[in-house]
Structure 1
Amino acid sequence: MIRGLYTAVTGLITGEAKQSMVSNNLANASTIGFKSDSLSIKKFDDVLIQNYDKMVNGVNTKNVIGSLSMGSQIDDLNTYFSEGVLQTTDKATDFAIEGKGFFTVQRDNGIDNKNYYTRSGNYHVDGQGYLVTDSGDKVLCKNKGTNAIEPLFVGDGKLQVDKSGNISVNGDNTHKFNTVDFADYKTLKKVGDNLFEAANPIQNQNITVKQNTLEKSNVNVANEMVEMMTIMRNFESNQKVLQAMDETLGKAVNEVGTVR
């Protein structure tokens, strides 16, 4: 009975984690460039149940009853990197990558500048004249003259970008988006603000970039709603099992053996 309590509780814990993940996906269904997540669930290793109640020739002998599952646990967090729908806009600072690849942005955390990677391309020009994300992170580009990777200064200039990512400000083609890719997407870790953190980026200058375009979230709202209802039903089932076991244990403690 006590083992059953643990099994039901692990189901509640994993159900709560999956519900939180689905809620986050739905909350970001309209977030530009957002990539949906899912949780993989696995069971704990089975436990072998046995006792020595069996008597053979007057001697207690091991009696194997069978195996018992100790419930479920979170196995892995999976991010789906499938491309979202590309939507045309009227802003010159909106960009999208067609196919694989990521933009590189730089965040000043007050100690040093750190690079992150994103599929989000809804940028704007800040008060200092640099191309930045909604969070104020500077978009990094390659200086064609010096080959340096640096923030792009736009100022009051007119911004034009071709499909290869070459950037012209007032007709002066001096920079190119610092687009990268990764050999293993499982190394990418979400850090908030629609950014990813990873080591060993691969420089990929053959990525197709589209100006006046944004990549929408790849969240499938209908699938997420179905998943949410499934999780809720499973959660309710585990809750009822837990309640039934609690009532049974309560009767065993308070009623069994009572002198009447």
Structure 2
Amino acid sequence: MIRGLYTAASGMMAQVIRQETIGNNLANSDTVGFKQDLTLLQTGMERDVVRIPQKRLQQRNLIGSLDLGVLVNQQHTSFAQGPLQETGQALDLAIAGNGFFTVETPEGIRYTRNGAFNLDAERFLVTAEGYRVLGILGPVQLPEGEVQITPQGQILVDGQVIDTLRLVDFADLNQLQKVGSGLWTTEQEEIAFNGQVQQGYLEGANVQPAEEMARMVAVLRLYETNQRVLQAHDQLTGKIVNEIGT
């Protein structure tokens, strides 16, 4: 009886976490470079169900298995390509394929897919938060003139090469950790960049709002189902306790 309560309660808690993940995806569906998160679930505990023999020397027969609840396995990020949206702005950059821009923050080196860059008062190339974008030579500082950025990340101003963007990739994207503001961190070694930079474009979020809404509806229904199961077990437990007590 108590197992049924735990199973229903764990199901409700798992759906709450899924709902939070879906809500965050929907809230960031218009965020440049955002990558969709997915909540992966697993069975909490699994027990074998056997037939108790009538005689002590008889062998127990396996009937099947019983799942005792559900747990969150991990939060997985989908690094699928987001749609490229043309802006015509020289400092708007999008990565087609795998890879990341590298930026310098007070907490250290971070990585991003958000290429909505601009210039600060000292003409350093910066993110919306003011973090400096790194090139091979260090923070990218641009003189006045026409800016051109090649698919390989080479930066030219009025035809003169200034620097090359520090574009990187990683062997295991699952080891990247989100740290907010579209930034990522990892202890992995950087590997060669094989994507392409598209100047005058931004990468949209790889979130499909219609699909997320469908997932949200499914989550709410699963939550309500577990809630009804929990209430039924609670009522039955109360009835048994009262009858035994009398």
* TM-score relative to the length of structure 1: 0.86
Residue 209 (structure 2) pairs with residue 215 (structure 1): no
Residue 78 (structure 2) pairs with residue 80 (structure 1): yes
Residue 242 (structure 2) pairs with residue 248 (structure 1): no
- Matches of 1:255 and 1:76, distance apart in 2: 43
In the TM superposition, what is the alpha-carbon distance from 1:161 to its structure 2 partner? 1.2
2:6 aligned residue: 6
Where does 1:35-54 land on structure 2 (aligned, <5 Å)?
35-48=35-48
In the TM superposition, what is the alpha-carbon distance from 1:55 to its structure 2 partner? 5.4
| Residues 66 and 208 of structure 1, relative CA distance in 2, 3 Å threshold | closer
In the TM superposition, what is the alpha-carbon distance from 1:210 to its structure 2 partner? 1.2
Where does 1:156-171 land on structure 2 (aligned, <5 Å)?
156-171=144-159
Residue 176 (structure 2) pairs with residue 178 (structure 1): no
Where does 1:11-26 land on structure 2 (aligned, <5 Å)?
11-26=11-26
> Does the 8 A contact of 2:85 with 2:201 survive in 1?
yes
In the TM superposition, what is the alpha-carbon distance from 1:187 to its structure 2 partner? 1.6
> Does the 8 A contact of 1:125 with 1:155 survive in 2?
no
Which amino acid counterpart does residue 221 of structure 2 have in structure 1? R
Which structure is higher in strand share? 1
> Among the aligned pairs, what percent are the same residue?
40
Which of 124, 128, 131 does residue 125 from structure 2 map onto?
Answer: 131
Which of 180, 197, 201 does residue 192 from structure 1 map onto?
Answer: 180
> Does the 8 A contact of 1:165 with 1:177 survive in 2?
yes
Q: How many equivalent pairs are there?
A: 244
Which amino acid counterpart does residue 140 of structure 1 have in structure 2? L
- Matches of 1:230 and 1:24, distance apart in 2: 16
Which of 195, 215, 233 does residue 227 from structure 1 map onto?
Answer: 215
1:146 aligned residue: none
> Does the 8 A contact of 1:130 with 1:155 survive in 2?
no
Unmatched 5+ residue regions in structure 2? none
Residue 86 (structure 2) pairs with residue 97 (structure 1): no
- Matches of 1:154 and 1:174, distance apart in 2: 7
In the TM superposition, what is the alpha-carbon distance from 1:31 to its structure 2 partner? 0.4
Q: What is the CA deviation profile of residues 116-150 of structure 1, one whole-angstrom value per residue up to 9, with x for unaligned ones?
A: 1111100111223211111221111113xxxxxx1
2:139 aligned residue: 151
- Matches of 2:197 and 2:65, distance apart in 1: 56
Greater Rg, structure 1 or structure 2?
Answer: 1
- Matches of 2:245 and 2:234, distance apart in 1: 18
Which amino acid counterpart does residue 23 of structure 1 have in structure 2? G
Q: What is the Cα-based RMSD across aligned positions, in Å?
A: 2.2
> Does the 8 A contact of 1:161 with 1:167 survive in 2?
yes
- Matches of 1:81 and 1:63, distance apart in 2: 49
Where does 1:114-125 land on structure 2 (aligned, <5 Å)?
114-125=108-119
Q: What is the CA deviation profile of residues 61-91 of structure 1, one whole-angstrom value per residue up to 9, with x for unaligned ones?
A: 8967764211111112221111111111132
| Secondary structure of 1:136 counterpart | coil
- Matches of 2:218 and 2:141, distance apart in 1: 49
- Matches of 2:223 and 2:245, distance apart in 1: 34
